[in-house]
Amino acid sequence: MLFFGALLRTVNAYAAPSATEDLVPTTIERRDVGPKDVEIEIAYAGICHSDIHTVRGDWGPQHYPLTVGHEIVGVVTEVGAEVSKHKVGDRVGVGCMVNSCRECENCKAGEEQYCLKGNTGTYGAKDRDGSITQGGYSTHVVVDEDFVLRVPESISYESAAPLLCAGITTYSPLAHWNAGPGKKVAVVGMGGLGHMAVKIAHAMGAEVTVLSQTLSKKEDGLKFGADHYYATNDEQTFKDLRNTFDLIINTVSAPIDLNSYFKLLTLDGTFVSVGAPGEPLPVTVFTLFSNRRSFAGSTIGGIRETQEMLDFCAEHGIEPETELIEANQINDAYERVLKSDVRYRFVIDAKTFA
Ligand code: NAP
Ligand code: ZN
Ligand code: ZN
C-alpha cells in the first residue's frame, strides 16, 4: 500500500467509470485510521446483484468512478487508539453500511439500517467527511469499529463474505416474521439471496418451498433444505399453491406479477420483498383484502442482528455456495448474474486487485 499525502491511503481497486462501461482496475483513496477506525486487509468480496443495479444506474444516478462491493471479509491490520472491539489479526466482516446517526430512535433500537437520517452505505454514499464511500472491490478498507463484525472461525474464510449482505438480508425478515416450526415459507428466486433464505429458513425449522423460474436447480434446492420446489413458468404452480404460505420472501431482481404471488398467502400471510428492481410494480388491493394479506419490504439488518446471523450460521453450519473468481472476471460474472446463471454467489479473491 502507498501512503498519499498526510491523511489518505491509496489502494488498488476495481471501479465502474460510468453506468455503461465495464469495471476496470484503478486506485482509490481510503482515509487514514482515526481513533475509532479499523483498517482491514480485504481477503474476499462477494458480488451482490445490488452492485450491478447500482453501477448500471438502475436505482438512479451515481458518482463515478464508483467501486462497489458490500460483502467484505478480511483481517484487521491496524486499529485506532480508542478501538476496543477489534484487534490486529482478527477475522472480520463489513456489510452494506459503514455508519449511521446513532441518535435517532431507530439507531437506538439497534436498527441502524433504518436510520431516520439515512444510514451511510458502504459504497456510493456521502461519508462524514463529505467524500463518496467506496466499496469492497479493493485491497483495503477503513471502517468505524462499530460497523465491523466478527466472523466466527468455524465459517470458512472463502465463503463467509456473502453472509454480510445475502445472509443478513434474508435472516432479518425470516426472524422478524417468525419463520420456524409450523410455518410454511416460500422463497421466490434462488440466486444469491434466495439460496441463503432456503438454508436459513430450513435451519429455523420452517417448511420451505422454492418458487424458481424453472426446475433446473431443484436438486440443489432440496439439498439446501427445501421441502418442495416449484417452477413459476408453469401456471399450474399458482393454482396448486393458492392460500398456502404464511410468509413469502421475494428475492427476485426483476419485476414480477406481485398479485399472482399474493394469492399464495394464507390467512394473515405476509409477502416480503427484499428483491429491488428499479421500476414501480402494480399492486391490486383486492388481492390483499382476501385472507387479510400483508405486503412488506425489508432491507439488510442492524449490526447486532448481523452478528446474531453470523453466530446462527456458525452454530447451524450454514455457509453460502460460492464460486471464486479473480478481479479480471468481474464483468463476465455480472453477465452471468444477469442471466440467472449463478451458483450461487460469486466471490472475488481480493489478492487479485493488487
Ligand atoms: P441474484 O443472485 O441475481 O438472484 C436473483 C434471482 O431472481 C435469480 O437467481 C432468479 O432466480 C430470479 N430472477 C431473475 N430474473 C428474474 C425474472 N425476470 N423473473 C423471475 N425471476 C427472476 O440476485 P441477488 O444478489 O440474490 O439479489 C436479488 C435482489 O435483491 C436484487 O434486486 C438485489 O438488489 C436485491 N437486494 C436487496 C437487498 C435489501 O436490503 N433489500 C439486499 C441485497 C440484495 P431463479 O433462477 O431461481 O428463478
Ligand atoms: Zn447486497
Ligand atoms: Zn439514526
- Mean pLDDT score across all residues of the chain: 96
What was the pLDDT predicted at 160?
A: 96
What was the pLDDT predicted at 5?
A: 43
Report whether residue 189 contacts ligand 1, using a CB cutoff of 6 Å.
yes
CB atoms within 10 A of CB 276: 17
What was the pLDDT predicted at 129?
A: 82
**Residue pLDDT, tens place only, 78-104:** 999 999 999 999 999 999 999 999 999
Domain boundaries, the chain: 10-165+319-353, 167-297
Report whether residue 53 contacts ligand 1, using a CB cutoff of 6 Å.
yes
Protein residues within 5 Å, CB atom, of ion ligand 3: 100-101, 104, 107, 115
Provide DSSP, 164-178.
GTHHHHHHHHHHHTT
**Three-class SS of residue 210?**
strand
Q: Which bound ligand lies closest to the C-alpha atom of 299? A: 1
- Give the mean pLDDT of 322-350: 97
Residue 2 has pLDDT above 70, yes or no: no
Q: Which bound ligand lies closest to the C-alpha atom of 338? A: 1
**Residue pLDDT, tens place only, 204-233:** 999 999 999 999 999 999 999 999 999 999
Atom number, ligand 1, closest to the C-alpha of residue 213 = 48
Q: Which bound ligand lies closest to the C-alpha atom of 301? A: 1
**Residue pLDDT, tens place only, 164-190:** 999 999 999 999 999 999 999 999 999
Residue 325 has pLDDT above 70, yes or no: yes
Protein residues within 5 Å, CB atom, of ion ligand 2: 48, 50, 165
Residue 295's pLDDT band, with cuts at 50, 70 and 90, is very high
What was the pLDDT predicted at 4?
A: 44
Query: How far is the centre of ligand 2, averaged over its atoms, from the C-alpha of 68 (Å)?
Result: 10
In whole angstroms, give the CA distance from residue 303 to residue 279: 29
- Give the mean pLDDT of 318-323: 98
Share of the chain above pLDDT 70, in %: 98
Query: How far is the centre of ligand 3, averaged over its atoms, from the C-alpha of 113 (Å)?
Result: 8
Residue 259 has pLDDT above 50, yes or no: yes
Report whether residue 190 contacts ligand 1, using a CB cutoff of 6 Å.
yes
Identify the CATH number of the domain defined by range 167-297.
3.40.50.720
Atom number, ligand 1, closest to the C-alpha of residue 299 = 40
Residue 51's pLDDT band, with cuts at 50, 70 and 90, is very high
CB 212 within 8 A of CB 201: no
Residue 296's pLDDT band, with cuts at 50, 70 and 90, is very high
Atom number, ligand 1, closest to the C-alpha of residue 273 = 41
**Residue 29's Cα: distance from chain center in Å?**
24
Atom number, ligand 1, closest to the C-alpha of residue 194 = 26
Domain 10-165+319-353: CATH architecture, name and number where available: Alpha-Beta Complex (3.90)
**Three-class SS of residue 85?**
coil
Equal CATH topology for 10-165+319-353 and 167-297: no
- Give the mean pLDDT of 284-296: 97
What was the pLDDT predicted at 354?
A: 86
168, 298, 306, 340: residue to mutate for ligand 1 pocket, most atoms within 8 A of CB:
340
- Give the mean pLDDT of 13-18: 98
Report whether residue 193 contacts ligand 1, using a CB cutoff of 6 Å.
yes
Residue 130 has pLDDT above 70, yes or no: yes
Q: Which bound ligand lies closest to the C-alpha atom of 50? A: 1
Model-level pTM? 0.97
CB 193 within 8 A of CB 96: no
Phi first, then psi: what are they for 161, rounded to 5°? -55, -45
Q: Which residues of 280-314 are buried (b: 16+ CB within 10 A; e: fewer)?
A: eeeeeeebbeebebebeebbbbbbebbbbbbebbb
Which of 255, 295, 257 shows the shortest CA–CA distance to 275? 255
Report whether residue 140 contacts ligand 1, using a CB cutoff of 6 Å.
no
Residue 349 has pLDDT above 70, yes or no: yes
Contacts of residue 234, defined as CB under 8 A and 6 or more positions apart, other chains included, come to none
In whole angstroms, give the CA distance from residue 37 to residue 181: 41
Atom number, ligand 1, closest to the C-alpha of residue 49 = 25
